[in-house]
Amino acid sequence: MITLTRDAWHAREAAHIERARELTREHRARRQRGEKHPVWDFLFTYYGYRPSLLERWHPGASVELAGAADDARGSWRWYVTGSASGSLTVDDAAFRREKRQIVRLAEIMLRRTAERPGQFDCFGLHEWAMVYRQSEHRHPQPLRLGTSGTDAVVDAHELRCTHFDAFRFFTAEAVPRNREPLQREDQAEREQPGCLHAGMDVYKWAVKLGPLVPGELLLDAFELASDARLLDMAAAPYDLSDFGVDPVRIETAEGKAEYVRRQRALAERSGRLREEILDASFRAPSVAAVL
Protein backbone atom coordinates (compact mmCIF):
# COMPACT_ATOMS: atom_id res chain seq x y z
CA MET A 1 0.00 0.00 0.00
CA ILE A 2 1.36 3.40 -1.03
CA THR A 3 0.38 6.42 1.06
CA LEU A 4 0.08 9.86 -0.49
CA THR A 5 0.09 12.96 1.70
CA ARG A 6 -2.86 15.30 1.40
CA ASP A 7 -0.75 17.89 -0.43
CA ALA A 8 0.62 15.26 -2.82
CA TRP A 9 -2.68 13.81 -3.91
CA HIS A 10 -4.36 17.22 -4.03
CA ALA A 11 -1.65 18.35 -6.46
CA ARG A 12 -2.14 15.26 -8.64
CA GLU A 13 -5.90 15.70 -8.58
CA ALA A 14 -5.68 19.38 -9.56
CA ALA A 15 -3.29 18.63 -12.42
CA HIS A 16 -5.59 15.87 -13.60
CA ILE A 17 -8.68 18.09 -13.62
CA GLU A 18 -6.85 20.82 -15.51
CA ARG A 19 -5.60 18.33 -18.12
CA ALA A 20 -9.04 16.73 -18.51
CA ARG A 21 -10.74 20.07 -19.02
CA GLU A 22 -8.24 21.08 -21.65
CA LEU A 23 -8.73 17.79 -23.50
CA THR A 24 -12.50 18.34 -23.64
CA ARG A 25 -12.57 22.14 -23.92
CA GLU A 26 -13.33 22.34 -27.64
CA HIS A 27 -15.96 19.60 -27.46
CA ARG A 28 -17.75 21.32 -24.59
CA ALA A 29 -17.68 24.63 -26.46
CA ARG A 30 -19.15 23.02 -29.59
CA ARG A 31 -21.83 21.35 -27.52
CA GLN A 32 -22.86 24.70 -26.03
CA ARG A 33 -23.11 26.12 -29.55
CA GLY A 34 -25.07 23.10 -30.76
CA GLU A 35 -22.37 22.17 -33.28
CA LYS A 36 -21.55 18.65 -34.39
CA HIS A 37 -18.13 17.37 -35.42
CA PRO A 38 -17.67 14.25 -37.59
CA VAL A 39 -14.36 13.34 -35.97
CA TRP A 40 -14.44 14.21 -32.28
CA ASP A 41 -18.09 13.65 -31.32
CA PHE A 42 -17.48 9.91 -31.72
CA LEU A 43 -15.36 9.83 -28.57
CA PHE A 44 -18.34 10.97 -26.52
CA THR A 45 -21.35 9.57 -28.41
CA TYR A 46 -20.09 6.11 -29.40
CA TYR A 47 -18.49 5.42 -26.03
CA GLY A 48 -21.20 7.34 -24.19
CA TYR A 49 -18.91 8.83 -21.54
CA ARG A 50 -19.48 12.45 -20.54
CA PRO A 51 -16.53 14.88 -20.39
CA SER A 52 -17.11 15.21 -16.64
CA LEU A 53 -16.17 11.56 -16.19
CA LEU A 54 -12.63 12.36 -17.30
CA GLU A 55 -12.30 14.99 -14.58
CA ARG A 56 -12.71 12.52 -11.72
CA TRP A 57 -9.26 11.50 -10.55
CA HIS A 58 -8.64 8.15 -8.88
CA PRO A 59 -5.27 7.11 -7.45
CA GLY A 60 -5.78 3.48 -8.45
CA ALA A 61 -5.75 0.39 -6.31
CA SER A 62 -3.44 -0.01 -3.30
CA VAL A 63 -3.01 3.73 -2.73
CA GLU A 64 -4.01 5.41 0.53
CA LEU A 65 -4.98 9.09 0.49
CA ALA A 66 -4.14 10.84 3.75
CA GLY A 67 -6.83 13.19 5.05
CA ALA A 68 -9.26 12.33 2.26
CA ALA A 69 -12.16 11.36 4.53
CA ASP A 70 -12.94 15.02 5.18
CA ASP A 71 -12.91 15.77 1.44
CA ALA A 72 -15.84 15.40 -0.99
CA ARG A 73 -14.23 12.10 -1.94
CA GLY A 74 -15.46 10.72 1.36
CA SER A 75 -18.94 10.37 -0.17
CA TRP A 76 -17.74 8.72 -3.37
CA ARG A 77 -18.61 5.13 -4.08
CA TRP A 78 -15.86 2.51 -3.96
CA TYR A 79 -13.85 4.27 -1.25
CA VAL A 80 -13.30 2.99 2.29
CA THR A 81 -11.35 4.10 5.32
CA GLY A 82 -7.65 3.33 5.10
CA SER A 83 -5.24 2.17 7.79
CA ALA A 84 -4.65 5.69 9.11
CA SER A 85 -7.32 7.83 10.72
CA GLY A 86 -9.05 10.07 8.18
CA SER A 87 -7.51 8.35 5.15
CA LEU A 88 -9.30 6.71 2.24
CA THR A 89 -8.39 4.00 -0.21
CA VAL A 90 -10.15 2.42 -3.17
CA ASP A 91 -12.27 -0.54 -2.10
CA ASP A 92 -10.90 -2.65 -4.93
CA ALA A 93 -12.22 -5.94 -3.54
CA ALA A 94 -15.81 -4.65 -3.41
CA PHE A 95 -15.52 -3.15 -6.88
CA ARG A 96 -14.23 -6.43 -8.32
CA ARG A 97 -17.02 -8.40 -6.64
CA GLU A 98 -19.83 -6.16 -7.88
CA LYS A 99 -18.31 -5.61 -11.33
CA ARG A 100 -16.96 -9.11 -11.64
CA GLN A 101 -18.06 -9.79 -15.21
CA ILE A 102 -16.89 -6.50 -16.69
CA VAL A 103 -13.59 -6.67 -14.79
CA ARG A 104 -12.94 -10.16 -16.14
CA LEU A 105 -13.89 -9.09 -19.67
CA ALA A 106 -11.63 -6.04 -19.50
CA GLU A 107 -8.70 -8.17 -18.39
CA ILE A 108 -9.35 -10.77 -21.09
CA MET A 109 -9.58 -8.18 -23.86
CA LEU A 110 -6.52 -6.25 -22.72
CA ARG A 111 -4.35 -9.33 -22.19
CA ARG A 112 -5.34 -11.25 -25.31
CA THR A 113 -5.00 -8.24 -27.55
CA ALA A 114 -1.56 -7.51 -26.09
CA GLU A 115 -0.40 -11.11 -26.64
CA ARG A 116 -1.01 -11.12 -30.38
CA PRO A 117 1.18 -9.66 -33.13
CA GLY A 118 -0.15 -6.55 -34.79
CA GLN A 119 -1.57 -6.63 -38.31
CA PHE A 120 -0.78 -3.64 -40.48
CA ASP A 121 -2.40 -4.43 -43.82
CA CYS A 122 -5.99 -3.19 -43.40
CA PHE A 123 -5.25 0.43 -44.48
CA GLY A 124 -8.36 1.69 -42.71
CA LEU A 125 -10.69 0.28 -45.33
CA HIS A 126 -13.36 -0.50 -42.74
CA GLU A 127 -14.72 3.05 -43.15
CA TRP A 128 -14.87 2.54 -46.91
CA ALA A 129 -16.71 -0.76 -46.40
CA MET A 130 -19.37 1.11 -44.41
CA VAL A 131 -20.40 3.12 -47.48
CA TYR A 132 -19.68 0.52 -50.17
CA ARG A 133 -22.31 0.53 -52.93
CA GLN A 134 -24.60 2.83 -50.97
CA SER A 135 -26.13 6.04 -52.29
CA GLU A 136 -26.56 7.32 -48.71
CA HIS A 137 -24.00 6.98 -45.97
CA ARG A 138 -23.53 7.51 -42.25
CA HIS A 139 -22.00 11.01 -42.35
CA PRO A 140 -23.33 14.11 -44.15
CA GLN A 141 -19.87 14.94 -45.48
CA PRO A 142 -19.26 14.16 -49.17
CA LEU A 143 -17.02 11.34 -50.36
CA ARG A 144 -13.61 12.47 -51.63
CA LEU A 145 -13.76 10.19 -54.66
CA GLY A 146 -17.51 10.12 -55.11
CA THR A 147 -19.62 6.98 -54.86
CA SER A 148 -18.20 5.15 -57.86
CA GLY A 149 -14.62 6.07 -57.02
CA THR A 150 -15.07 4.89 -53.44
CA ASP A 151 -16.57 1.61 -54.58
CA ALA A 152 -13.67 1.12 -56.98
CA VAL A 153 -11.15 1.38 -54.13
CA VAL A 154 -12.99 -1.31 -52.17
CA ASP A 155 -13.24 -3.49 -55.28
CA ALA A 156 -9.47 -3.25 -55.72
CA HIS A 157 -8.64 -4.47 -52.20
CA GLU A 158 -9.25 -7.40 -49.91
CA LEU A 159 -10.96 -6.25 -46.71
CA ARG A 160 -9.00 -7.43 -43.67
CA CYS A 161 -10.91 -6.04 -40.72
CA THR A 162 -10.45 -7.85 -37.37
CA HIS A 163 -12.64 -5.63 -35.16
CA PHE A 164 -16.24 -6.73 -34.84
CA ASP A 165 -17.55 -3.32 -33.80
CA ALA A 166 -16.33 -1.91 -37.11
CA PHE A 167 -17.33 -4.95 -39.14
CA ARG A 168 -20.93 -4.80 -37.89
CA PHE A 169 -21.38 -1.51 -39.75
CA PHE A 170 -20.24 -2.91 -43.11
CA THR A 171 -22.83 -2.68 -45.85
CA ALA A 172 -24.41 -5.98 -46.87
CA GLU A 173 -22.38 -5.93 -50.08
CA ALA A 174 -19.12 -5.41 -48.17
CA VAL A 175 -19.59 -8.16 -45.57
CA PRO A 176 -18.63 -11.11 -47.81
CA ARG A 177 -15.56 -9.23 -49.03
CA ASN A 178 -13.91 -9.37 -45.60
CA ARG A 179 -11.12 -11.92 -45.29
CA GLU A 180 -12.93 -13.65 -42.44
CA PRO A 181 -16.45 -13.30 -41.06
CA LEU A 182 -16.54 -11.75 -37.59
CA GLN A 183 -18.93 -12.43 -34.72
CA ARG A 184 -19.34 -10.88 -31.30
CA GLU A 185 -18.63 -14.24 -29.66
CA ASP A 186 -15.21 -14.38 -31.35
CA GLN A 187 -14.12 -10.85 -30.51
CA ALA A 188 -11.64 -11.82 -27.80
CA GLU A 189 -9.96 -14.20 -30.25
CA ARG A 190 -9.76 -11.67 -33.09
CA GLU A 191 -8.61 -8.41 -31.52
CA GLN A 192 -5.04 -7.46 -32.36
CA PRO A 193 -2.92 -4.43 -31.39
CA GLY A 194 -2.52 -3.03 -34.89
CA CYS A 195 -6.22 -2.21 -35.08
CA LEU A 196 -7.02 1.47 -34.53
CA HIS A 197 -10.35 0.62 -32.94
CA ALA A 198 -8.73 -1.84 -30.53
CA GLY A 199 -6.43 1.03 -29.58
CA MET A 200 -9.40 3.34 -29.04
CA ASP A 201 -11.02 0.66 -26.92
CA VAL A 202 -8.16 0.86 -24.42
CA TYR A 203 -9.98 3.99 -23.30
CA LYS A 204 -13.22 2.03 -22.97
CA TRP A 205 -11.61 -0.63 -20.79
CA ALA A 206 -9.89 2.01 -18.65
CA VAL A 207 -13.30 3.57 -17.98
CA LYS A 208 -14.87 0.18 -17.25
CA LEU A 209 -12.20 -0.55 -14.66
CA GLY A 210 -13.19 2.64 -12.86
CA PRO A 211 -11.28 3.48 -9.67
CA LEU A 212 -8.77 0.68 -10.25
CA VAL A 213 -7.12 2.77 -12.98
CA PRO A 214 -5.09 5.84 -11.95
CA GLY A 215 -6.51 9.00 -13.45
CA GLU A 216 -3.33 9.75 -15.35
CA LEU A 217 -3.66 6.46 -17.26
CA LEU A 218 -7.30 7.19 -18.03
CA LEU A 219 -6.34 10.48 -19.68
CA ASP A 220 -3.45 8.80 -21.51
CA ALA A 221 -6.00 6.33 -22.89
CA PHE A 222 -8.30 9.17 -23.95
CA GLU A 223 -5.45 10.91 -25.76
CA LEU A 224 -4.58 7.65 -27.50
CA ALA A 225 -8.22 7.24 -28.56
CA SER A 226 -8.24 10.81 -29.88
CA ASP A 227 -5.12 10.30 -31.98
CA ALA A 228 -6.38 6.97 -33.30
CA ARG A 229 -9.72 8.55 -34.18
CA LEU A 230 -7.98 11.29 -36.13
CA LEU A 231 -6.08 8.78 -38.26
CA ASP A 232 -9.21 6.67 -38.61
CA MET A 233 -11.13 9.57 -40.16
CA ALA A 234 -8.20 11.02 -42.09
CA ALA A 235 -7.96 7.68 -43.91
CA ALA A 236 -11.74 7.45 -44.36
CA PRO A 237 -13.39 8.17 -47.73
CA TYR A 238 -14.95 11.44 -46.54
CA ASP A 239 -13.90 14.93 -47.53
CA LEU A 240 -13.20 16.54 -44.15
CA SER A 241 -11.27 19.54 -45.43
CA ASP A 242 -13.88 21.90 -43.93
CA PHE A 243 -12.85 20.53 -40.52
CA GLY A 244 -9.11 20.92 -41.10
CA VAL A 245 -8.45 17.21 -41.57
CA ASP A 246 -5.83 16.41 -44.20
CA PRO A 247 -6.65 13.10 -45.91
CA VAL A 248 -4.43 10.06 -45.76
CA ARG A 249 -5.01 8.84 -49.30
CA ILE A 250 -4.90 5.11 -48.71
CA GLU A 251 -5.92 4.52 -52.31
CA THR A 252 -2.31 5.40 -53.22
CA ALA A 253 0.98 3.68 -52.33
CA GLU A 254 2.17 6.82 -50.55
CA GLY A 255 -1.03 7.00 -48.52
CA LYS A 256 -0.78 3.36 -47.52
CA ALA A 257 2.80 3.89 -46.33
CA GLU A 258 1.78 6.92 -44.27
CA TYR A 259 -1.16 5.05 -42.76
CA VAL A 260 0.98 2.07 -41.73
CA ARG A 261 3.69 4.33 -40.26
CA ARG A 262 1.18 6.16 -38.08
CA GLN A 263 -0.69 2.93 -37.31
CA ARG A 264 2.50 1.31 -35.99
CA ALA A 265 3.24 4.30 -33.76
CA LEU A 266 -0.26 4.12 -32.29
CA ALA A 267 0.10 0.36 -31.78
CA GLU A 268 3.30 0.92 -29.79
CA ARG A 269 1.52 3.44 -27.58
CA SER A 270 -1.51 1.22 -27.08
CA GLY A 271 0.75 -1.72 -26.20
CA ARG A 272 2.52 0.22 -23.48
CA LEU A 273 -0.76 1.55 -22.13
CA ARG A 274 -2.38 -1.89 -22.00
CA GLU A 275 0.52 -3.15 -19.93
CA GLU A 276 0.35 -0.16 -17.58
CA ILE A 277 -3.39 -0.55 -17.06
CA LEU A 278 -3.06 -4.30 -16.49
CA ASP A 279 -0.26 -3.74 -14.00
CA ALA A 280 -2.20 -1.05 -12.14
CA SER A 281 -5.49 -2.95 -12.06
CA PHE A 282 -4.49 -6.57 -11.54
CA ARG A 283 -1.47 -6.53 -9.28
CA ALA A 284 -3.39 -6.38 -5.96
CA PRO A 285 -3.26 -9.54 -3.78
CA SER A 286 -7.07 -9.55 -3.54
CA VAL A 287 -7.51 -10.24 -7.22
CA ALA A 288 -6.93 -14.00 -7.02
CA ALA A 289 -9.42 -14.35 -4.17
CA VAL A 290 -12.13 -12.30 -5.85
CA LEU A 291 -11.73 -13.50 -9.44
- Domain segments of the chain: what residues? 2-122+186-290
Mean of the per-residue pLDDT values of the chain: 94
Q: What are phi and psi of 81, to 5 degrees?
A: -65, 135
Q: How far is CA 184 from CA 36, 120, 136, 165, in A?
A: 30, 22, 26, 8
- pLDDT at position 291 over 70: no
Express each pLDDT in 79-126 by its tens digit.
999 999 999 999 999 999 999 999 999 999 999 999 999 999 999 999
> Which among 93, 98, 141, 170 is positioned nearest to 237, based on CA atoms?
141
Q: Pick 221 or 70 by higher pLDDT.
A: 221
* Axis-axis angle for helices 253-281, 215-234 (nearest 10): 160
d(CA 267, CA 228) in angstroms, rounded, equals 9
Q: What's the per-residue H, E or C state across the chain? A: CEEECHHHHHHHHHHHHHHHHHHHHHHHHHHHHCCCCCCCCHHHHCCCCCHHHHHCCCCCCCEEECCHHHCHHHHCCCEEECCCCCCEEECHHHHHHHCHHHHHHHHHHHHHHHHCCCCCCCCCCHHHHCCCCCCCCCCCCCECCHHHHHHHHHHCCCECCCCHHHHCCCCCCCHHHECCCCCHHHHHHHCCCCCHHHHHHHHHHHHHCHHHCCHHHHHHHHHHHHHHHHHHHHCCCECCHHHCCCCCCCCCHHHHHHHHHHHHHHHHHHHHHHHHHHHHHCCCCHHHHHC
Cβ 245 vs Cβ 234: under 8 Å: yes
- Which is it for the CA torsion 235, 240, 246, 251, positive or negative? positive
Report pTM: 0.94
Express each pLDDT in 225-275 by its tens digit.
999 999 999 999 999 999 999 999 999 999 999 999 999 999 999 999 999
